[in-house]
Amino acid sequence: MKFTKYTLIIIATATILFSCGGNEATSDSTEAIVEENDSNFVWKTEQFADLKIVRYKINGWENLSLQQKKLVYFLTQAGYSGRDMIWDQNYRHNLTIRRSLESIVNNYAGDKETEDWKNFMIYTKRVWFSAGIHHHYSNDKFTPEFSKEYFTTLMAESKAELADEIVEVIFNPEIDNKKVSLDPTKDLLLASAVNLYGPDVTEKEATEFYAAKVVKGDKEPIWHGLNSQLVKGENGLEERVYKSGGLYGEAIDEIIGWLEKAVGVAENEDQGNALKLLIEYYKTGDLNTWDDYNVAWCEATEGDIDYINSFIEVYNDPLGYGGSYESIVEINDFEASARMAVVAENAQWFEDNSTILDEHKKKEVVGVTYKVVEVAGESGDASPSSAIGVNLPNSPWIRKKHGSKSVSLGSIIHASSKAGGSGMLDEFCYTKKEIEMEKEHGAIGDKMHTALHEVIGHASGQINEGIGTPKETLKSYASAIEEARADLVGLYYLLDPKLVEMGLISSLDVGKTAYDGYIRNGMITQLMRLEPDAVIEESHMRNRQLVAAWAMEKGADDNVIEKIVKDGKTYFVVNDYEKLRTIFGELLMIIQKLTSEGDYQTGKDLVENYGVQVDAKLHAEVLARVKKLNIAPYGGFINPNLEPVTNATGEITDIKVSYPDDFTKQMLDYAKRFSFLPDNN
């Protein structure tokens, strides 16, 4: 079971939906101090390519003490200090390319009204958004809409420097064209440009290297490869560890400095001790210390402030070992957290009543906490593209023995809804009733599915004695399988009367609405994210199509889900919600079984047969229908700015919050203040 980002599904509902609606920025001002009243706040600032840029607010900031404000400030600065690392992890030439692009933006004095310049800026902003030259979701390399000759002219006139071979990388579609490849017909490492491995390390070599490190019978295994780059050295394969004095040491030292300041203003002893262990981990790179930190962090549940910071998510590693750097700083939303705490409090009931086999159920679900939070700042792989929910830690044995923390990023969800509209619903819902149900129940349905996915889904089930972790057994399919497992837990319980009894939803219409949206998204609307002739490679997309397509096939005889074509438009309609729930429960049992038993072949067959291939005709139809709506399929966020106020002696007396409204200026500002790594690492 892995740390999971339940990626923002911006195409499923009216409430978590990006479209062409929403207010545009009307001022050239970089920052605008706003009141808490939403009506005064500009949410969407711009739209380009397939992206929308949105701002979010930190509600309740004024209720924090000065000590808490300092803690938030120090933690956000620690997060931003590591942003160079995700760039280098994503691709070995990213930092060099980024700095050349930024030099041009800062120094070019020529005509900025031409189409070439506008296309250059779109390319640059896409690179900023994805922390590299590959798309953050599809992993495909960006294709510049300007010529190599124009680019070399820009460099010359801006005194920007970039080696010829790196310029060739930008413009040659055959070179390093995929950040992460999951094509089973290719060597997954040689076909991937991601910089978690040396460019000459093969899938077989890496797999054997890490397999040799596994201690059979170890019930508390460390996560080998999480914080290192595997390369070929003079004596064979070796790990370059991310730590002070090691790989990325310059940035890590900056992080350590801010974390040490955070220790001094920690809210309580447990929180401070966890931070000290994180500092020790950054200093040594010791994965045993990482586990000690995760236990301490998981058990530090008191206080209003929390955070995520380190090398965590493994989706960017085609083999599932290497963690990408990320940071999220969180402030508890007490009222919303109290409403949703009932989910965590009833974790054992959900486990006991699941459709999974009894031998795969946990006899005692421990330490599950769930909070709704205001985000104060995000960095690394968490920004600009953000999750809406997070569940940690990712180690199965720590989850089982010490529990886990789940958070819903309430301010991110709220900002998404404010920047959205209902164009997709009008286009892809078959009946007016479906639209009305979505508008009435979609928001709570999404929140409940996220809560059940994160709190119950990822915390449920157990692996059989003697079976390796999913990254070892299910390999490149582990992420998609795990997301499907968590989704299915949420889907199964969304139509359970127990949720009404608990006061979590008003009626089962919430669950029915969520079923409609999930099938609609999994079968059709998420295809808007793919280029023509593409297959599905992103794990969350594979998961959603797998679940929806398997359910449709399983319920074909009873017409549980019906495909309807009317006036040249395709729709998918749920006809029997109870039977669909039964199907979801059956698939959950199957996926938990293959996970518990480490059944690679069954997992591979499910993903490849249901989650990968795309109906080309349907895909073309979806792209044509979406094009007329001018909807960006992806969205990301500008972080608030936290600025310390000091007295004559330099002592911090307050931290003020302001809300930048210019994505380009924030990226240039971060590049100026938080660039600590050399071009080549």
> CA-CA distance, 630 to 50, in Å (whole number)?
9
- The answer as to whether 471 is a domain residue is yes
Cβ atoms 206, 319 nearer than 8 A: yes
pLDDT per position as a tens digit, 34-53: 334 566 789 999 999 999 99
- Regarding beta strands 236-241 and 324-332, do their DSSP bridges make them parallel or antiparallel, or are they unpaired? unpaired
Considering the domain architecture, whether residues 65 and 132 belong to the same structural domain is answered as no
Same domain assignment for residues 99 and 66: no
| Per-residue model confidence as pLDDT tens digits over 142-161 | 999 999 999 999 999 999 99
Whole-number Å distance between alpha carbons of 377 and 639:
6
**Of 85-89, 412-416, 433-437, which range is least confident?**
412-416
Q: What is the mean pLDDT of the chain?
A: 92
Q: How far, in Å, CA of 181 to CA of 535, rounded?
A: 11
Do the domain assignments include residue 239? Answer: no
Residue 20 pLDDT > 70, yes or no? Answer: no
Q: What is the DSSP string of 34-77?
A: --S-GGG---EEEEETTEEEEE---TTGGGS-HHHHHHHHHHHH
DSSP 398: H
Whether residue 285 sits in one domain with residue 142: no
Predicted confidence at residue 4, as pLDDT, reads: 34
- Identify whether residues 70 and 93 lie together within a single domain: no
pLDDT at 10 over 90: no
Does 234 fall in a domain? no
User: DSSP letters of 453-498?
Assistant: IIIIITT---PPTT---HHHHTGGGHHHHHHHHHHHHHHHHHT-HH
Please give the backbone phi and psi of residue 631, each rounded to the nearest 5 degrees, phi first. -105, 130
> Exposure of 624 by Cβ count < 10 A (0-12 exposed, 13-18 middle, 19+ buried)?
exposed
Predicted confidence band at 422 (pLDDT cuts at 50, 70, 90)?
A: low
Dig out the tokens for 21 from the structure.
């609606």
Asked if 136 and 148 sit in the same domain, the reply is: yes
Query: Of 55, 44, 56, 49, which is closest to residue 20 (Cα–Cα)?
Result: 44
Q: Which of 673, 605, 662 is nearest to 639 (CA)?
A: 662
Residue 605 lies in a domain: yes
- 172 and 267 housed in the same domain: no
State the pLDDT at residue 528.
94
Task: Assess whether pLDDT exceeds 70 at residue 256.
Answer: yes
Q: Are residues 271 and 141 in the same domain?
A: no
Candidates 603, 539, 84; CA nearest to 315 is 539
Residues 129 and 70 in one domain: no
Q: Give the pLDDT confidence score for residue 15 in this predicted structure.
A: 31
Determine, yes or no, domain membership for 196.
no
Contact 51, 129 (CB under 8 A): yes
Cβ burial 243-253 (10 Å sphere, 16+ → b, else e): bbebbbbbbbb
Total domains, the chain: 2
* Rounded CA separation 249/677 (Å): 8
Q: Say yes or no: 376 and 266 in one domain.
A: yes
Q: Kindly state the DSSP code that residue 192 receives in the 8-state scheme.
A: -
CA distances from 128 to 50, 116, 131, 238 (A): 14, 18, 5, 31
- Look up the domain containing 112 and give its range: 81-180+641-673
Tokens describing residue 523: 């079968």
If asked whether residues 100 and 117 sit together in one domain, one would say: yes
Same domain flag for 358 and 406: yes
CB 133 within 8 A of CB 94: yes
Does residue 485 form part of some domain?
yes
Query: Residue range 227-246: average pLDDT?
Result: 97
Counting DSSP H helices and E strands in the chain, the numbers are 25, 16
**How far apart are alpha carbons 139 and 117 in whole angstroms?**
25
Judge whether 537 and 180 are in contact, CB under 8 Å: yes
Clarify whether residues 124 and 43 are in a common domain.
no
233 falls within a domain = no
pTM: 0.86
List, as one string, the DSSP characters of 586-599: HHHHHHHHHHHHT-
- Residue 218 in domain: no
Q: Give residue-wise pLDDT tens across range 271-308.
A: 999 999 999 999 999 999 999 999 999 999 999 999 99
Q: What is the DSSP letter of 531?
A: P
